[in-house]
Amino acid sequence: MRPGRWAAHIDGDFVVFLIGARIDVRHPVRSLRDLGGVRGMPYMLKHLGQHPEKGLLGYETYGLTMNVQYWRSFEDLERFANDDDAPHRPAWRSYWRRVGRDPRSGIWHETYLVRAGEYEAVYGNMPPHGLGRAAGLVSLTAGSSARGRLKRLTR
């Protein structure tokens, strides 16, 4: 835990990638297999943690079905997603072979490109979390404001 007020700080542009799944509550084991089983998201995140050169800066996981990822660039994210030798592509192909148009399990993602200075992430009395954990924290000074931290609004 870090007492006080802190803000995330990252140099340059970055990507926020939200990804999640919908599990069939009547058949959760089948859904988890559909989503990659032991080669699913936890496996991919472990692989990315062992290969920081791939561009994943950090992530937060929320339950079994969602995580927020921070990437250095869209190109890094895209390269990982399309790499036949990385764990994502085989799991993605397997999902579509297993599920196809059957609505039993679902997947979703959202990708946000964030330009330098066009974000705000503040933490009060928190351990490093989210972007602050992925990129780093700086202490906030008394009197700082959201408008002041968002560089685009002050131009």
Are residues 34 and 103 both part of a single domain? yes
**pLDDT, tens digit, for every residue of 53-73?**
999 999 999 998 999 999 999
Kindly state the percentage of the chain with pLDDT values over 90.
Answer: 79
Tell me which of 81-85, 87-91, 116-120, 143-147 is least confident. 143-147
Output the average pLDDT for the chain.
92
Burial class of 35 by CB neighbour count within 10 A (0 to 12, 13 to 18, 19+): buried
Given a cut of 70, whether residue 115 has pLDDT beyond it is: yes
CA distances from 30 to 47, 81, 102, 128 (A): 24, 24, 12, 35
Q: What is the pLDDT of residue 74?
A: 98
- The CATH code of the domain that includes 105 is 3.30.70.100
Do 32 and 97 sit in the same domain of this protein? yes
What is the rounded distance in angstroms from the CA atom of residue 154 to the CA atom of residue 144?
13
Q: How many domains does the chain have?
A: 2
The model carries a pTM of: 0.91
Say yes or no: 132 and 104 in one domain: no
Residue 151 has pLDDT above 90, yes or no: no
Residues 132 and 7 sit within 8 Å (Cβ to Cβ) = yes
Domain check: are 141 and 103 in the same one?
no
Same domain, 88 and 132: no
For residue 32, what are the CA distances in angstroms to 13, 59, 95?
34, 20, 10
Query: Integer distance in angstroms from the first to the last C-alpha of the chain?
Result: 34
Domain that holds residue 132: 2-8+118-154
Instruction: Clarify whether residues 29 and 103 are in a common domain.
Output: yes
pLDDT in tens, 125-135: 999 999 999 99
